[in-house]
């Protein structure tokens, strides 16, 4: 099986509640250039505003192979090494490897992108995430690309310390904060607990649940993935037999729901409840405890809800 994993994708299309989207730019006095670097908690952080390179690219008005060649030389070659190249899950960023097909949609999104606001939101997420789960001596880079609203995911972990944001028409300050926090945890997990193995459906659910658990810990008032608190045994039975399969398509179907009788976003809700089950069954478990827990340990705790 191809050694990628759906959990490194995060599609957040649901409405956000809790914190408002304004006010963050008031704290952003930093440079609004292509790159912004800062240090917090003994860690280095870098935000790369890749979208700032697109206007010059589009001004050339090239098409076909000429456009692809210019896109590679003027955009990708500038950022690839820091954003995704060499990452354990580099292929999850393949969307970025060619010019987006809908230029008008990209340029519309470019108008929505405020560098100060993006800096403020991403910095807030990285700072608060490192407060909860410090990685002293490490470096994390967040690269922000524009999209034509057709990227397969909004947030991607390309590997340790490499987070890619695909900014679309639904991206808000709150979504940036929540998504970056989620992917910060994925990056931590890869660095500390990933051994190159392939992923089952269960593994994908568990790791996404861990990211969501961490995001809700960092931002308890930002709701990007509403949770159905009911333990519906009929729905669980529909996916239980699929858990040990290495099947990315099935994983996506479960996460997105809306098919085979599953509610929309079923997998996101259930994956978080799986982590809740483990934490509830292990009183006093620290972030590192549930981060290090195996998929089988978490499944065992969760199955008790359906006995």
Q: What pLDDT tens digit does each residue of the chain (307 aa) get?
A: 333 455 555 544 343 444 444 444 444 445 578 999 999 999 999 999 999 999 999 999 999 999 999 999 999 999 999 999 999 999 999 999 999 999 999 999 999 999 999 999 999 999 999 999 998 899 999 999 999 999 999 999 999 999 999 999 999 999 999 999 999 999 999 999 999 999 999 999 999 999 999 999 999 999 887 899 999 999 999 999 999 999 999 999 999 998 889 999 999 999 999 999 999 999 999 999 999 999 999 999 999 999 8
Whole-model pTM: value is 0.91
Q: What is the dihedral of CA 56, 62, 65, 68, to 10 degrees?
A: 20
Sign, CA dihedral 5-9-13-16, equals positive
Residue 159 phi, psi (nearest 5): 165, -170
Strands (E) located in the chain: 9-10, 35-40, 43-48, 139-146, 155-159, 162-167
Letter string b/e over residues 162-198, b meaning 16 or more CB atoms within 10 A of that residue's CB: bbbbbbbeebbbbbbbbbbbbbbbbbbbbeeebeeee
Strand 43-48 to 139-146 pairing: parallel
């Amino acid at each position: 099986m191809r050694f990628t994993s759906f959990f490194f994708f995060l599609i957040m299309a649901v409405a956000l509640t809790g914190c408002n989207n304004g006010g963050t730019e008031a704290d952003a006095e930093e440079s609004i250039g292509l790159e912004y670097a800062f240090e917090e908690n003994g860690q280095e952080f870098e935000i790369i505003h890749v979208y700032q390179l697109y206007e010059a690219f589009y001004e050339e008005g090239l098409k076909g192979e000429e456009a692809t060649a210019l896109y590679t030389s003027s955009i990708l070659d500038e950022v690839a090494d820091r954003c995704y190249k060499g990452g354990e899950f580099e292929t999850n960023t393949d969307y970025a490897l060619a010019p987006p097909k809908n230029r008008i949609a990209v340029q519309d999104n470019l108008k929505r992108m405020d560098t100060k606001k993006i800096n403020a939101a991403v910095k807030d997420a990285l700072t608060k995430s490192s407060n909860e789960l410090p990685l002293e001596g490490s470096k994390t880079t967040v690269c922000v690309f524009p999209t034509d609203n057709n990227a397969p995911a909004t947030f991607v972990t390309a590997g340790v310390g490499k987070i890619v944001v695909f900014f679309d028409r639904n991206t808000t300050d709150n979504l940036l904060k929540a998504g970056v926090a989620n992917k910060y945890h994925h990056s931590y997990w890869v660095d500390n607990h990933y051994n190159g193995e392939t992923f089952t459906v269960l593994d994908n659910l568990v790791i996404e649940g861990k990211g969501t658990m961490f995001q809700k810990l960092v931002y308890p008032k930002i709701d990007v993935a509403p949770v159905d608190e009911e333990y519906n045994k009929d729905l669980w039975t529909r996916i239980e037999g699929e858990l040990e399969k290495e099947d990315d398509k099935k994983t996506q179907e479960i996460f997105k729901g809306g098919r085979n009788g599953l509610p929309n976003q079923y997998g996101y809700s259930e994956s978080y409840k799986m982590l809740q089950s483990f934490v509830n069954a292990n009183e006093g478990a620290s972030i590192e405890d549930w981060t290090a827990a195996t998929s089988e340990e978490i499944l065992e705790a969760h199955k008790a809800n359906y006995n």
